[in-house]
């Protein structure tokens, strides 16, 4: 495993990406939050998050040390489609991603899932447990998002440092297992070819 891992935090508008990065970062997190204005009416879909007054226009950034040999660098993506052009830049060098999902607006998770599937970038889905939002079994969420069986689906509270930390640890473990399996398969194919 590398000593530093870049992880993208993606998801729909209002899913809690900025909150997640802020909650877990051990440094003062960096945000490019701007106030929503009248100009965004009809452009940004605020259905279900009508009380949201700010939006990320470029990225969020934070860092957490998991142990003395592993630092995670978190890059939160903007949620609105008008800022998706930033995703390619943010994805450069990323080892994996966390797709933060909101059960009140589950459909807003599809663009992030599609993006990471197309790029073949490993990801987990972390369902943000908003106060008052209806909860569903992870199997129901997996089916609704049409996820492959190996993609982890986790429940988390993006406001809670320990909850977010567990999501990040699970994400890194998942990627490590994928890489180990891939290396073993490659080695065995090489052995069979000789």
Instruction: Tell me if 55 sits within 8 A of 80, measured CB to CB.
Output: yes
Q: Residues 37-71: pLDDT tens digits?
A: 565 555 555 556 556 655 555 568 898 998 888 89
- pLDDT given at position 179: 87
Fold of 4-184: Rossmann fold (3.40.50)
- pLDDT given at position 69: 81
- pLDDT given at position 8: 95
In the chain, domain spans: 4-184
- pLDDT given at position 58: 55
> What pTM value is reported for the model?
0.80
Q: Residues 70-98: pLDDT tens digits?
A: 899 999 987 666 566 677 888 899 999 99
Half-sphere exposure of 96 (CA within 13 A, CB side): 25
**Residue with more model confidence, 37 or 128:** 128
**Residue from 104, 133, 117 nearest 10 by CA:** 117
CA 51 to chain centre: 22
pLDDT tops 60 at residue 11 = yes
Residues whose CB falls within 8 Å of the CB of residue 184, separated by 6 or more in sequence, listed in order:
none
Structure-derived torsion over alpha carbons of residues 107, 109, 114, 116, reported in degrees to the nearest 10: -170
For tokens 């069979």, what's the residue? 192
- pLDDT given at position 130: 83
- pLDDT given at position 131: 82
Q: Residues 131-187: pLDDT tens digits?
A: 878 889 999 999 999 999 999 999 999 999 999 999 999 999 999 999 888 766 665
Distance between CA atoms of 108 and 11, rounded to whole angstroms?
7
């Amino acid at each position: 495993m590398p000593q530093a891992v870049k992880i993208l935090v993606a998801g729909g508008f209002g899913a809690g990406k900025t909150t997640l990065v802020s909650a877990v970062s051990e440094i003062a997190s960096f945000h490019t939050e701007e106030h929503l204005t009248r100009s965004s009416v009809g452009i940004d879909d605020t259905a279900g998050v009508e009380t949201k007054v700010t939006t990320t226009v470029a990225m969020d950034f934070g860092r957490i040390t998991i142990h003395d040999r592993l630092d995670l660098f978190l890059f939160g993506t903007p949620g609105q489609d008008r800022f998706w052009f930033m995703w390619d830049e943010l994805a450069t060098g990323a080892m994996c991603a966390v797709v933060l999902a909101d059960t009140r607006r589950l459909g807003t998770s599809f663009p992030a899932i599609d993006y990471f599937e197309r790029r073949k970038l490993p990801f987990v889905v972390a369902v943000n447990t908003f106060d008052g939002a209806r909860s569903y079994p992870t199997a129901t969420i997996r089916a609704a998002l049409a996820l492959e069986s190996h993609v982890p689906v986790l429940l988390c509270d993006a406001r809670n440092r320990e909850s977010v930390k567990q999501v990040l640890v699970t994400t890194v473990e998942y990627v490590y297992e994928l890489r180990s399996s891939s290396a073993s398969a490659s080695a065995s194919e090489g052995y069979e070819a000789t």
